[in-house]
Structure 1
Amino acid sequence: MAVCVAVIGKDNSPLYIGGIGNDTSTDNELSRQWLVHTALDALEERLASTNTNNSGANSNTSRTDLRDLYLGLLYSTDTHKIYGYVTNTRIKLVLVTSSTSPSGSNIRDAEVRTALRRLHALYADAICNPFHLPGDQITSAKFDKQVKNIMVNNV
């Protein structure tokens, strides 16, 4: 089961961090932010290694790697698994799942990939709003509801 979803800007500033559950305490919010920010380190390492590999490779393999925006499992802890996705505009999407729940340990890679692609589509719809300023946090209630729907139903 997905615990947290984050949309991170080009400059690593959080544009949206949302979670599910009834616990909205400060400790829970801080732990979500900590998980997302530690995932950024792993995400940046993965992107740096991809760029280094592409510079020495031929053009066909670099095109293949650039088309696949899903970075897969970034890292896992005793209680969480963190997955990453990067858009063409270098917006980072992070999905945190619980590995302690019975359904959390059986999550397939295809389900996570689908959820992150849907999240990317929702993000694109949210920023296409003419009243949204690029780089600002996403405060849309509709976006929040749709993200929580993805978290509950897909992953």
Structure 2
Amino acid sequence: MKQWRRRWTYEIPLAIGDALGEVLVVQLAALLDRLTVRKVIAFIPVVILVLAYYHRIPIPPELMLVGDFLAYIDIFSVLILLGALSRVTTMLFVLKQAAARIAKFAGKVAAHLPGRDVRHRRQRGAATRPHRKPERSEDDRALGGVWDQAAFA
């Protein structure tokens, strides 16, 4: 009798509590981790159909159309994505053309600028040509070197 009482007062309620905890906490958390917005939206038409075939609750046709729209949400999202991608490719094409025109314009401007002559460059350590001193004129020689540079020094 004591075993029977222990089993029905402790073991069976604990087993039921463990099973409820497993189902309502652990498995529900795992289900919510896998649940996405897309799955919820896809499940709404199923709920509407179940309610429609349950004859006690009348459902207006507008609600059925909403269910159809939600069923086709994947098609609408693909069409929206294709529209956005076509706009992006158009913008990239325009940007590519603008970049090509800017590069062409820059090339034309660079071609018309006077360039530096780099064909006859001197080496950095190369000696320069000695400059000739101007010859002394007859007037300078006649005065006997008064205008000589040495006289001013």
Query: Which interval holds the TM-score relative to the shorter structure?
Result: under 0.3
More strand by share: 1
- Scaled by the length of structure 2, what TM-score is found? 0.22
- Scaled by the length of structure 1, what TM-score is found? 0.21
Which protein has greater RCO, CA pairs closer than 8 Å, 6+ apart?
1
More helix by share: 2
Larger radius of gyration: 2
